[in-house]
Structure 1
């Protein structure tokens, strides 16, 4: 009945640090990359259903002079080796004061990823660990789920429409058929 109005999920986009891999501030060392619990399992569930995956990450360390784009690329390559392959990567190298349209909570990276995948924002979901992630999803018109970590602020969790205990639960929420009359 109502489910015919719900777009089919065609992509799940992920925040990088604190969501797919443990957050190491301004990490430029691929050797320090460690996947989050359930990351591989969650990604496998998505991929076996033919759903695309992508990573969207703010990397203000580039603008701050703490990291080079090459170091970010090396870390991303390591993540791809451990958890990939991902269909799309989006990186915002700007600092918070630069006013770009890509830095989360702005929706620019989500829109760009969806364009590159040939889908609408409504056909994607975004999973992250902080309020800026779910704010970016909402601004883009994408379903957003927050997976809190110890650094996630209580008010960010309270403000989120959907909260999951871990990546496995977030993906189960996305892959579950909607309840009768549910609008997503």
Structure 2
């Protein structure tokens, strides 16, 4: 396994929606994001995706539709001769009290267990405070992109100490590679 990086999905890889991404047609990559993942892979990084998907609990999309969306991501990356090494997701709503919904660290812990590695210092790239809080909870390196909810997250303040801020996944990936 190469160096590990963990990415949030909505707002980092693809455009987010206040109405949730509920279908393959609504899943639209942010310009440059898929190419950034390809660059990370070509540079030897292991790329994991960790995403809250409460739309499943809310009945807005099925687990099958979510799988189709992730298959679309994988297919579009394959066209760039790239891939993600794993995708973990939380299907629960905010009221369910699960351990996997960010800002809780369960999704990141699943990734650490899958790759049998410590998450200390592992870069976590997200667009929301809860992505960064979950990163800090496992000793990872919080990185904020200002796509998606990222600009609002940045302007609201209260970022964890040491959070690095980038305009998008392209810039964050290049920051990791150089």
Return the alpha-carbon distance in structure 2 between the equivalents of residues 150 and 35 of structure 1. 11
Q: Could you tell me which residue of structure 1 aligns to residue 156 of structure 2?
A: 155
The equivalent position to 1:17 in structure 2, one of 10, 16, 27, is: 10
Q: Specify the SS of the correspondent of 2:48.
A: strand
TM-superposed deviation, 1:123: 5.4
Return the alpha-carbon distance in structure 1 between the equivalents of residues 92 and 73 of structure 2. 21
- Note the alpha carbon deviations across 1:129-160, whole angstroms, 9 max, x for none: 1111111111111111010236333124x514
TM-superposed deviation, 1:18: 0.6
Q: Could you tell me which residue of structure 2 aligns to residue 74 of structure 1?
A: 68
Q: Could you tell me which residue of structure 2 aligns to residue 132 of structure 1?
A: 130
Which of 1 and 2 has greater Rg?
Answer: 1
Return the alpha-carbon distance in structure 1 between the equivalents of residues 38 and 65 of structure 2. 27
After TM superposition, the runs of 4+ consecutive aligned structure 1 residues lying more than 3 A away are: none
Q: Which runs of 5+ in 1 are unaligned?
A: 1-8, 177-184
Task: Tell me the number of residue pairs that the alignment of Structure 1 and Structure 2 aligns.
Answer: 168
Q: Could you tell me which residue of structure 1 aligns to residue 142 of structure 2?
A: 144
Q: Which runs of 5+ in 2 are unaligned?
A: none
Counterpart contact for 1:88–1:117, Cα < 8 Å: no
**2:44 is the alignment partner of 1:46:** no
TM-superposed deviation, 1:118: 2.3
